[in-house]
Amino acid sequence: MIRVNPDVKFSYDLVKGSPQSRREFVGNLNAKIFESIQSSMHEGGILLDDYKRIFKSVCPENKKVTISKISPKDKIFEGSTDYIYDNKNNIVGQSMELPTQKGKIQTKELVTVMHEGTHAIEVLSNPKYTVRRNKLYKNGMYGDVSNKWYDTVLYRKEDSSTEYEKRACLDDVKERTSKFLSGKSKADKLDYIQDARYELEQEKNAYEEQLKYAKLLEFQGKEVDPDDLKDGNKTFLFPEKIEMLKQMGFEVVAEIRKKLAKSH
């Protein structure tokens, strides 16, 4: 059984219950962080060191989340959040990389900050995400093929302005996903499906928080990238893809149960 390092989760007494209650917990922390950011703004931005202080002070427990400027090799991303592993491939913390200019996060980058911060807080609030990720990582189940499946199939933008186009997109996603899973054991299929579902759930929630703060900044007359004002659920079809993965998981479970029934 894989245990979650205490540095990568909030205590059970602090956050527990339904997915909705955990989402509300994350949203409340985000609201406090954003309020503190706004009160610390100076000359069109906030110092990275000030953001680090705010994130640490607002989090109700001290956890390992290293925050730094985005490295040159990751410049293709606006920001990133990832796990930190020890030499035995155990997850021991998280890293967050944010866009800065001369040590300052510009106002127009605050939406990215809220997006990445949501990822970090969500992981702390949902240990099941870390358990699944660590299991696949330790079993060597991540690689170029699985990354390509996730990046170019599940996490791709969809051209679906009509219901017909949406259905065609989802049919293609299911077909490509079935092809990726083909030949794998039922246990591995379930692990991949569940891990992908968790990943999309996190992105769905991060994009929803992103949109909320983009609209707020726009209302305040602040500079906002037009792309940040787009609904990620419509752009990526997160809810529909999550439901598709859930149903595919049910199908695999049904196959396992059918096989067990025959063996008895």
pLDDT in tens, 11-26: 999 998 999 999 999 9
Query: What residues contact 149, with CB distance under 8 A and at least 6 apart?
Result: 176, 177, 180
The whole-number pLDDT of residue 261 equals: 78
- Given CA atoms 214, 215, 220, 226 in this order, what sign does their dihedral have? positive
Element housing 67 (H / E)? strand 65-69
* Regions of the chain with pLDDT less than 50: none
Query: What is residue 169's three-state secondary structure?
Result: helix
What CA–CA distance (Å, rounded) separates 209 from 85?
27
CB-based contact 93:7 (threshold 8 Å):
yes
Read off the amino acid at residue 21: S
Query: What's the pLDDT at 260?
Result: 81
Pairing status of strand 80-85 against strand 104-106: unpaired
Instruction: Give the pLDDT of residue 264.
Output: 65
d(CA 61, CA 77): 29
Tell me which residue has tokens 């660590």.
134
Q: Tell me the β-bridge partners of 106.
A: 45
CB 22 within 8 A of CB 125: yes
Residue 219 phi/psi, 5-degree rounding, is -60, -35
d(CA 87, CA 143): 19
Q: Using alpha carbons, select from 128, 127, 114 the residue that is nearest to residue 29.
A: 114
Report pLDDT digits (tens) over 99-157: 998 899 999 999 999 999 999 999 999 999 999 999 999 999 999 999 999 999 999 99
**Per-residue pLDDT, 31:** 97
Overall pTM surpassing 0.85 (yes/no): yes
* Token reading at 75: 């410049």
CA 222 to each of CA 38, 42, 162: distance values in angstroms, whole numbers, following the listed order: 11, 13, 33
pLDDT at 154: 97
Which of 10, 32, 27 minimizes the C-alpha distance to 205? 27
pLDDT of residue 188: 96
